[in-house]
Amino acid sequence: MRWTLKPKPDQQTVIHLRDQLQIDHSIASLLVQRGIQTFDEAKEFFRPSLDDLHDPFLMEDMDKAVKRIEDALLNNENVLVFGDYDVDGTTAVALMSSYLKTKSDQIATYIPDRYDEGYGISYKGIDFAHDNDFTLIIALDCGVKATDKVAYASEKGIDFIICDHHRPGDELPKAVAVLDPKRDDCKYPYKELCGCGVGFKLIQALSSKEGLTVSDLTEYLDLVATAIGADIVPITGENRVLAYFGLQVINAHPRPGIQAIIQHLEKKELTITDVVFIIAPRINAAGRMKHGNHAVALLTETDEFLAETYASEINTFNLDRREADKQITEEALVQITENKEKDRLTTVVYNESWHKGVIGIVASRLIETYYRPTLVFTKSGDKLAASARSVKGFDVYNALEACSEHIEQFGGHKYAAGLTLKAENYEIFKQAFEDEVTRTIDRHLLTPEIKIDSQIELTEITPKFYRIIRQFSPFGPGNMTPIFMTQHVKDSGYGKCVGEDDKHLRLTVIQGRSKFVGIGFNLGNKLNLIKNGNAFDIVYSIDENHWQGQVSLQLKLRDIK
């Protein structure tokens, strides 16, 4: 691991904020690193308020979207709520359809089949709408580049409202309204909403016409928080407010579908991390292993018994997904070894029988072993399809663009993309991708990096210190869990490997009179570094250990040197 200590923020600003808030210097430094420099900014950060959400009508085309939906409701039109099959898409469809169903019985949902239709708005979906007399489609988490498909729908007398958060192409679709804060001409103050977040802004605008406020819509925020966590958007600004209150709903009054997922958990209070690793994978598994409709059914169900039945089904899909993911990862690692490709700068593997729904997860798993840009291919119809994942700092989308002469189609962003190509082009593409990455990548990006917020002494870690850091949550991109470094610590002498195959490390870290239990997941191979009274340096975050009714602070070790 590369340890990178973040630059120290301006000390005059830190001292000023420290004195204003009456807090430790280290805490003030962390806040300034996050762009918080004044008392008012700190107040907004520590006390999120629904009043901090922006006026939805600041978004370009919002007035047009609201007018078209109001007309559809007034005239009893059939409205189809269309969304992608991932967590952001299915939560957005659940949110929009459940809201509109309080206004009309003429609302239906449509999730494209991952394998038959692929990502985004589909011709099959538009034909379904036409055959069933739908005159308005509201597309969520997709559609901002679907110019041809929107034109096709228009020929069939179907209007489109698009709620997307991806970067538009050169030309916007000729829809009634295109809601996307990333539009060049959109003056909306916050650009990082997820697809479900854009959907929420639309229902906020619709409800405001009835004299309701955002406080009347909190029941939908469990869906928004789930999408924010799953889609890995920055948890800053408006997203932080939505995630903060969404977590409150998840912990206090979740909808029956989410309650059915989390009811057997022993944790008393779920964090955004729990949303990402417990709730989101189960919702995602429906689209990966079966069909995204199962996720929408779960998230919109109001009957608790039925919700439990749907949750049980989805849990089975998730177990199947985990089994497939584990098996394919093992097969891919064998393939890399057998083909003597350990020393390449890329991983490109292929097996025609691999499940298309999990190859993206497998690509991420392979990066845990070989930290380099990775593509996992499988057969899809008469073509090969792949999921691409990248390492921090390297733009895999640009690399694919440079190899586009060998690719049928591709899309995505800097760190994750998808592509298809003809089987006969696989080997030539594989070499072209290796050549392009070799030519363009900065070699130090091939070593994983830990970014350290600050260096502290163990004496600084107190219950009060931790209580304030907890109030930095919810954590995520743009507001990550603080990572600390402490130098010249020692083990008590009882440090040992624990867990299956002794993969993890458990020790008691001592510095002067301060000592804390530390747990290092997947750090079992570092045991020799801490033996014989050797001094060593640690990088860690701080969390709580709950054991036999006792609560104590512990260090979650990220690395040891």
pLDDT in tens, 146-175: 999 999 999 999 999 999 998 888 899 999
Residues 36 and 133 in one domain: no
Residue 317 within any structural domain of the chain: no
CATH of the domain at 476: 2.40.50.460
DSSP H or E stretch at residue 178: strand 177-179
Residue 334 within any structural domain of the chain: no
Last residue of a domain, one of 395, 426, 446: 446
* CB-count exposure of residue 359 (10 Å: 0-12, 13-18, 19+): buried
pTM of the model: 0.91
Given a cut of 90, whether residue 55 has pLDDT beyond it is: yes
Residues 183 and 42 in one domain: no
For 516, other C-beta atoms within 10 Å of its C-beta total: 21
What per-residue confidence (pLDDT) applies to 240? 96
Which residue type sits at 333? L
pLDDT tens, residue by residue, 505-514: 999 999 999 9
Residues 152 and 13 in one domain: no
Last residue of a domain, one of 446, 477, 497: 446
List Cα–Cα distances, 237 to 43, 50, 116, 192, 440, in angstroms: 13, 11, 38, 9, 34
What per-residue confidence (pLDDT) applies to 319? 93
Residues 88 and 43 in one domain: no
What per-residue confidence (pLDDT) applies to 424? 96
Q: Which residues contact 412 (CB under 8 A, 6 or more apart)?
A: 388, 396, 397, 400, 418
The angle at the Cα of 68, spanning 67 to 74, to the nearest 5 degrees, equals: 90
Taking a C-beta distance cutoff of 8 angstroms, is the pair 214, 50 a contact?
yes
Given a cut of 80, whether residue 548 has pLDDT beyond it is: no
Residue 324 within any structural domain of the chain: no
Residues 43 and 85 in one domain: no
Residues 380 and 478 in one domain: no
Q: Beta 416-422 vs 374-380: how paired, if at all?
A: unpaired
pLDDT band at 410 (very low <50, low <70, confident <90, very high): confident
d(CA 284, CA 448) in angstroms, rounded, equals 27
Last residue of a domain, one of 426, 446, 466: 446
DSSP H or E stretch at residue 205: helix 195-208
Residue 223 within any structural domain of the chain: yes
List Cα–Cα distances, 192 to 217, 229, 450, 516, in angstroms: 21, 13, 24, 38
Share above pLDDT 70 across residues of the chain, in percent, rounded to a whole number = 100
Taking a C-beta distance cutoff of 8 angstroms, is the pair 144, 178 a contact?
yes
d(CA 460, CA 26) in angstroms, rounded, equals 8
Share above pLDDT 90 across residues of the chain, in percent, rounded to a whole number = 87
Residue 319 within any structural domain of the chain: no
Helical H segments across 75-173, by residue range: 87-100, 123-131, 147-155
pLDDT band at 315 (very low <50, low <70, confident <90, very high): very high
Given a cut of 90, whether residue 354 has pLDDT beyond it is: yes
Q: Beta 347-350 vs 107-110: how paired, if at all?
A: unpaired
Q: How many domains does the chain have?
A: 3
DSSP H or E stretch at residue 72: helix 62-74
Find the range with the poorest average confidence among 324-328, 370-374, 545-549.
545-549
CATH of the domain at 427: 3.10.310.30
Residue 396 within any structural domain of the chain: yes
Q: Beta 159-163 vs 134-140: how paired, if at all?
A: parallel
Residues 354 and 387 in one domain: yes
Helical pair 87-100 and 221-230, crossing angle rounded to 10 deg: 160
Residues 347 and 483 in one domain: no
Q: Is 537 helix (H, G, I), strand (E, B) or coil?
A: strand
Given a cut of 90, whether residue 414 has pLDDT beyond it is: no
Residues 82 and 42 in one domain: no
Given a cut of 90, whether residue 288 has pLDDT beyond it is: no
pLDDT tens, residue by residue, 110-135: 999 888 887 889 999 999 999 999 99
What per-residue confidence (pLDDT) applies to 116? 84
What per-residue confidence (pLDDT) applies to 464? 93
Buried b (16+ CB within 10 A) or exposed e, 477-489: eebebbbbbbeeb
> What rounded mean pLDDT belongs to the chain?
94
Residues 417 and 514 in one domain: no
Find, among 237, 113, 88, 221, the residue nearest to 166 by Cα: 88
Residue 327 within any structural domain of the chain: no
| Cross-strand bridge partners of residue 412 | 417
Residues 538 and 455 in one domain: yes
d(CA 357, CA 153) in angstroms, rounded, equals 28
pLDDT band at 264 (very low <50, low <70, confident <90, very high): confident
CATH of the domain at 239: 3.90.1640.30
> Which carries the bigger pLDDT value, residue 545 or residue 485?
485
Given a cut of 80, whether residue 412 has pLDDT beyond it is: no
Residue 322 within any structural domain of the chain: no
Helical pair 195-208 and 221-230, crossing angle rounded to 10 deg: 160
Residues 379 and 232 in one domain: no
d(CA 292, CA 285) in angstroms, rounded, equals 8
Full domain range(s) for residue 94? 56-312
